[in-house]
Structure 1
């Protein structure tokens, strides 16, 4: 199928806008690549330090013609998604040796979990951990001894940080290696219902804890479709995974075989051979458009609006919020995965998953097929799925029909004609909203606002009953400069209860919502943020706000707001405790949300 003219036009706009930045980036990458194998430029003393602990592999490492793979790992055993990475380095080293290569753990990066820090002060470090991960990866690869890299990461900020670094070292080939989701536990909707009941005081903490533990119950990624699983989808749509690798459960023979295959492939695509595939060539404007299409077709995380902009800039590509809006407008919503439906990612995978979706979207002309990928073929390779047979790992054509039409549908019969992610504009600034899980009668909310400066105050107002009305909750001074832009998912149970009580409710904030943003209409990432003088800083209780997701409008309808003085609360509590002192430089230099809210690029 020829490429849809609308996708082609959006791609051309991004290409033209990015031309100077992309050309400068590629020039830097070509200059680095022309220097040949990195180890060849090290003095003997430098090399001896790098190889001292490598035992029988020392001779191979000294030989410039033997590829050396750098492993960057986000392993820790506190977080379920990253615990499976514990044994990956030994497995990768064995697979590399079998392929005539060597491998070393280049370094580790931090991996924090928004599920642990949700509603806690530690969440104020979360967004900036993306930049720390990029910096830490930069340090890991700075020893200049690697011919390709394997990036082991899963969750919210980890994959974006690794991608930023992989693009910065774009002359190196790289493959992202996932660990897969945990098996299905307590259904996500049952867990959410228990959370709402707890917020109303109908069940106690023991019942809440039992539900949470039954949902998050073993090694692997959480099973709802939040940022972590959106990241995995993205790596597949953009050609940085091996095909079909995203949602294979940990600890299975197929998962192990895919990890081995990633090491083998990383050895094959270095500059020492004939299949050199540097990351800089994979991550051109077509790959980013493919990633955006995947985000919209699956109903993915709003956090990726921030991350994709920052990630693309590292590869010399300039994305804007308008690109998200434009691609959402032409991409059908093909999947219903919680919170957009009742299924979890294991059900999604069983129904056909990413191979089905990529095949269908290619047939509909909504994806660029002619891209470079880590697999060494165009994107059509990602319409196949991995199989493990008597002769080992191979790829077979993916399903051409949905195995469950309550979870997956083809583009011509999709759950919605658009992706459900909208840009919001108006006198309150620029923001985004995700409505793929929001009931249609809540797409427009016009009501007096209630203004807050912290999450606890919102929860207290809910418990006191002062929010039992049509209301737009404004939670400001939650932007990157104010306090690191924490997620505000802890408010979801309370606001969901207000919806169930029949009220018109919306959230407006310069902070973030969860990657699993659900049924509560929310205008998030509002920029300029309050601390940068955005109009949101001048709102007062009772001002009338219109949230209109149909038209993409976010307006304060009360006259005279612009002439008011900005109200600045005491933000000193955001500056200390739980390591927040260490991030003062990050807060001071953070970019605006519509430019990725980062400091690195």
Structure 2
């Protein structure tokens, strides 16, 4: 093992000893020797099987067969989730052939960040993760199930399903992907149209045509944002079938993988003879493997929050310092938009997950001694699924990447670090994604320009007020302020300013996912401004230094002057009423800080 990976892993194990032991004792107590529904009364069981066929009733009341609960985030609006419409029926049939029974237990909400970007609904996006977790738990709480299948892909949905699943860590659980849509117009062309629109050089018709040529059919959006980062990370953690993340939605291979997932979850139940609960698969080493996968591919910064929350749900304590130290040792092996011009289809065609996992294992960057849904050892994930004579099988990956401009080897990485840096200083702690920054963009020292809304920044840009070197501060965007929306509207104007030769950076307690592109962006600032951090005392013209090489983020103002300043008073009423936001006040007020997972689910908060 690489010594840094080993050291950080051991530190996490030591730090988590008490909480991990308590979690394992909890799931051991919840385990049943025999069908879970055996604990139900006759009336309970009768209600649970009332809508089943006679054959299913006979199987379930006999207590001899496993019952698999299906949780789905299907809806027609999310292109990534639309293919799930037919999955429950397909999975039930596959599970029946394996000698088990399946019931659809719960649908969970699934919102699309692409639809809500810059809209009021975006302020519910992060909150939806915890709602999904609780909805998953409600469905599984009927105690009818011996295993579970989770159908989800996108931004908050997979983390929410994972949080809910880990609260039922005694159940064998498999995640079932659906795959990306075909590639649309090149990402570079799409970005150029967005920037032209921001400069007033393209109209709405041209912009809409470009967007609809990019997001054009069923399947996951093909850029490497949070949705595809989710898929890569949970496959790296051994929770999805090897090589299944980026197989297209339609076709025989995707159908066969979905069937196999149903059969496999039956096999790892108590009744299947190879009992393997999700709470044992998700351990300290698998969490590190997931982080390594994220860093080696320049994945979404949203996962820096989600993985902290997921780990905590399994009794594991990780923080941004762990991620930043791992990043110093992990080579960047992919160039996928927004960190390159290729999309996830190009990555998949170049060798995809199997080549990536093989390279990382070869370099000692991944733990091989882990449990996965297909058995012991991550080396199983160096195989590629394929159809041979109409049957699903796994074969060795190609000897090398089919396109080394998209997926390279550990011998010639794109960077010798993972592209994630922890920033710390008197303004607090935050993260910056450096995988698409040039050396000249790593250090910015400039006067602050203050906004409390991404919409106000756009107005200032249109008026020409930002045509200068500046550090743009967008504050009161954090979890407890307004639910921590993603601030994608900031990217085009800041990119334009940078392209015009200005030194520009962003500092915010909001989110940017992978959308910061080539603009230096200190995001997820903690503590957030509403909690009285120094961020709330910054005034126009204050000098701020952002140094992504050293990890420094400093407000260069005399401490005596700062002590004399009053904190800014935010006007948040408009972000707390309307579009359903008024119903989420209690959840929003109980969210932890970004480095603690921005989560409302844990009593200690």
TM-score (structure 2 length as normaliser): 0.98
Matched residue, 2:272: 273
Matched residue, 1:592: 593
2:83–2:218 contact (8 Å) kept in structure 1: yes
Residue 577 (structure 1) aligned with residue 589 (structure 2): no
Matched residue, 2:302: 303
Matched residue, 2:418: 419
SS in 1 for 2:517: coil
Tell me the distance in 2 between the aligned counterparts of 1:502 and 1:562.
35
Matched residue, 2:203: 204
Tell me the distance in 1 between the aligned counterparts of 2:60 and 2:89.
17
Matched residue, 1:465: 464
Tell me the distance in 2 between the aligned counterparts of 1:400 and 1:444.
39
SS in 2 for 1:536: helix
Tell me the distance in 2 between the aligned counterparts of 1:255 and 1:97.
19
Tell me the distance in 1 between the aligned counterparts of 2:88 and 2:207.
37
Q: Which moved more, 1:27-36 or 1:353-362?
A: 27-36
1:82: Cα distance to partner?
A: 0.3
Matched residue, 1:45: 43
Tell me the distance in 2 between the aligned counterparts of 1:298 and 1:524.
19
SS in 2 for 1:318: coil
Q: Cα RMSD (Å) of the superposition?
A: 0.9
Tell me the distance in 2 between the aligned counterparts of 1:490 and 1:375.
42
Matched residue, 1:546: 545
Matched residue, 1:130: 129
Matched residue, 2:19: 21
Alignment of 1:99-118 (within 5 A): 99-118=98-117
1:391: Cα distance to partner?
A: 4.7
Tell me the distance in 2 between the aligned counterparts of 1:515 and 1:34.
42
Alpha-carbon displacement from aligned partner over 1:532-558 (angstroms, at most 9, x marks no partner) = 011000000000000110001110012
1:535–1:562 contact (8 Å) kept in structure 2: no
Alpha-carbon displacement from aligned partner over 1:75-109 (angstroms, at most 9, x marks no partner) = 00011000000000000000001100111111010
Alpha-carbon displacement from aligned partner over 1:40-63 (angstroms, at most 9, x marks no partner) = 011111111111111131111212
Alpha-carbon displacement from aligned partner over 1:333-370 (angstroms, at most 9, x marks no partner) = 00000011110000000001110010111111110001
Matched residue, 2:365: 366
Show structure 1 runs of 5+ residues with no match.
none
SS in 1 for 2:372: coil
1:538–1:562 contact (8 Å) kept in structure 2: no
1:507–1:521 contact (8 Å) kept in structure 2: yes
Matched residue, 1:483: 482
1:224–1:516 contact (8 Å) kept in structure 2: no
Tell me the distance in 1 between the aligned counterparts of 2:120 and 2:31.
43
Alignment of 1:503-522 (within 5 A): 503-522=502-521
SS in 2 for 1:247: coil
Tell me the distance in 1 between the aligned counterparts of 2:456 and 2:231.
35
Alpha-carbon displacement from aligned partner over 1:185-206 (angstroms, at most 9, x marks no partner) = 1111111110110011101000
Alignment of 1:181-196 (within 5 A): 181-196=180-195
Matched residue, 1:230: 229
Q: Which moved more, 1:552-561 or 1:465-474?
A: 552-561
Q: Which moved more, 1:398-407 or 1:556-565?
A: 556-565
Q: How many residues align?
A: 599
Q: Which runs of 4+ in 1 moved over 3 A?
A: none
Matched residue, 2:444: 445
Alpha-carbon displacement from aligned partner over 1:459-512 (angstroms, at most 9, x marks no partner) = 000000010000000000000111000000111011100011010000000010
Matched residue, 1:331: 330
Alignment of 1:27-426 (within 5 A): 27-34=25-32, 36-55=34-53, 56-426=55-425
Tell me the distance in 2 between the aligned counterparts of 1:111 and 1:32.
29
Alpha-carbon displacement from aligned partner over 1:506-525 (angstroms, at most 9, x marks no partner) = 00000101334311110000
Matched residue, 2:568: 567
Tell me the distance in 2 between the aligned counterparts of 1:533 and 1:449.
18
Tell me the distance in 1 between the aligned counterparts of 2:395 and 2:93.
26
SS in 1 for 2:448: strand
SS in 2 for 1:411: coil
SS in 1 for 2:59: helix
TM-score (structure 1 length as normaliser): 0.99
Tell me the distance in 1 between the aligned counterparts of 2:390 and 2:528.
57
Alpha-carbon displacement from aligned partner over 1:26-75 (angstroms, at most 9, x marks no partner) = 00011111454211011111111111111131111212220111000000
Tell me the distance in 1 between the aligned counterparts of 2:511 and 2:562.
24
Tell me the distance in 1 between the aligned counterparts of 2:399 and 2:487.
39
SS in 1 for 2:257: helix
1:360–1:400 contact (8 Å) kept in structure 2: no
Q: Which moved more, 1:302-311 or 1:265-274?
A: 265-274
1:371–1:378 contact (8 Å) kept in structure 2: yes
2:187–2:341 contact (8 Å) kept in structure 1: yes
1:274: Cα distance to partner?
A: 2.3
Q: Which moved more, 1:287-296 or 1:383-392?
A: 383-392
Alpha-carbon displacement from aligned partner over 1:164-196 (angstroms, at most 9, x marks no partner) = 111110000000000000000111111111011
1:272: Cα distance to partner?
A: 1.7
SS in 2 for 1:261: helix
